[in-house]
């Protein structure tokens, strides 16, 4: 592997401090400048469920779109999709689960029902020529069901891919996964979806993220989701960390001689900016080490 794409997840959604639109816009602009090829901008879910995302339109219109950078947005259903397109979205993402219980608790319907909802979004997106990215959550474990079978993950990934998603991001939602489980899960999914269309979205709740990402890379994956400063705690484990920090991922990739196009210093600048705005400490160890306190 010699080139890996780092996708920036906008996980401000899980931060408890409400952040004004200008701050979100500035952050996204800084991340674009840092060289990230994909920056997830916002989410078109109902603000009733996620108040942090109420300013979705303002953010979409306010960001400075850098040439060559994609700004996908989450669209859980047709309504959200239409609002997103109206606000200028050029790429969307849909979120499935590999666990029935998680699907019911998280989006109030079964996995099958959610896939049917997504079909509607897919049809509209195809007509509009808008690419769709698919997410599968709980790929290495579920907060309710516990163990999740690799076969189930492969099944959901296959459905999303055959529906028309150009890429499937496999999420270790509660960070319980370890390298063995990652390898096993990827082997099952690779039988149904070409590895070039796969991404990994690892949470660092148990400190396993970088090790899991490493084995994913060794097994052919070349797209990695991460979050600047490791923003976004884990809603299922109070006080535990969530997303893996982009700075730490990029540090590892560069150390492996892998090209990412990301400027680590500019990335760290974006990280310290958002941490100051949120008045919280960074979750990135690279940022902590580089900061001479």
What does the binding site for other proteins look like in residue numbers (CB under 8 A)?
175, 177-181, 183, 204-208, 210-211, 213-215, 218-219, 234, 237-241, 245, 248, 251-252, 254-257, 284-286, 288-289, 291-293
Which residues touch 4 (CB under 8 Å, ≥6 apart)?
217, 222, 223, 224, 253, 258, 259, 260
Element (H, E) at 273: helix 264-278
List, by residue number, the catalytic residues.
234
Least distance (Å) between residue 178 CB and other proteins: 3
Least distance (Å) between residue 175 CB and other proteins: 7
Contact in structure between 5 and 44 (CB atoms under 8 Å): no
In terms of CB distance, is 48 or 292 closer to other proteins?
292
In terms of CB distance, is 63 or 252 closer to other proteins?
252
Query: Which long-range contacts does 81-86 make (Cβ < 8 Å, 24+ apart)?
Result: 81/44, 81/121, 81/124, 81/125, 82/124, 83/44, 83/56, 83/57, 84/44, 84/56, 84/60, 85/128, 85/130, 86/57
In terms of CB distance, is 164 or 235 closer to other proteins?
235
In terms of CB distance, is 129 or 257 closer to other proteins?
257
Q: Per-residue b/e over 195-217, b at no fewer than 16 CB within 10 Å?
A: eebbbbbbbbbbebbbebbebbb
Least distance (Å) between residue 163 CB and other proteins: 31
- Name the β-bridge partners of 239: none
Least distance (Å) between residue 11 CB and other proteins: 17
């Amino acid at each position: 592997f010699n080139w890996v794409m780092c996708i920036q997840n906008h996980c401000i959604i899980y931060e408890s401090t409400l952040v004004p639109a200008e701050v979100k816009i500035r952050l996204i602009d800084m991340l674009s400048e840092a060289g990230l090829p994909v920056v997830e901008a916002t989410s078109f879910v109902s603000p009733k469920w996620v108040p942090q995302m109420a300013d979705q339109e303002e953010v979409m219109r306010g960001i400075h779109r850098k040439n060559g950078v994609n700004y996908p947005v989450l669209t859980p259903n047709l309504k959200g999709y239409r609002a997103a397109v109206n606000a200028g979205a050029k790429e969307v993402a849909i979120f499935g689960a590999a666990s029935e219980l998680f699907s019911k608790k998280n989006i109030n319907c079964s996995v099958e029902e959610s896939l049917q909802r997504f079909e509607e979004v897919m049809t509209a997106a195809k007509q509009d020529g808008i690419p769709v990215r698919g997410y599968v959550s709980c790929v290495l474990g579920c907060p309710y069901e516990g163990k999740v079978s690799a076969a189930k993950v492969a099944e959901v990934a296959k459905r999303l891919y055959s529906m028309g998603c150009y890429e499937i991001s496999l999420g270790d939602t509660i960070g319980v996964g370890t390298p063995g489980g990652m390898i096993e899960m990827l082997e099952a999914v690779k039988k149904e979806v070409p590895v070039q269309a796969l991404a990994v979205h690892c949470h660092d709740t148990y400190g396993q993220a970088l090790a899991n990402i490493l084995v994913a890379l060794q097994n052919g994956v070349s797209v990695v989701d991460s979050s600047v400063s490791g923003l976004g705690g884990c809603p299922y484990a109070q006080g535990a960390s969530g997303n893996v920090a982009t700075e730490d991922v990029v540090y590892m990739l560069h150390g492996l001689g892998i090209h990412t196009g990301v400027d680590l210093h500019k990335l760290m600048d974006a990280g310290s900016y958002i941490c100051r705005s949120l008045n919280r400490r960074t979750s990135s160890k690279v940022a902590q080490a580089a900061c001479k306190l």
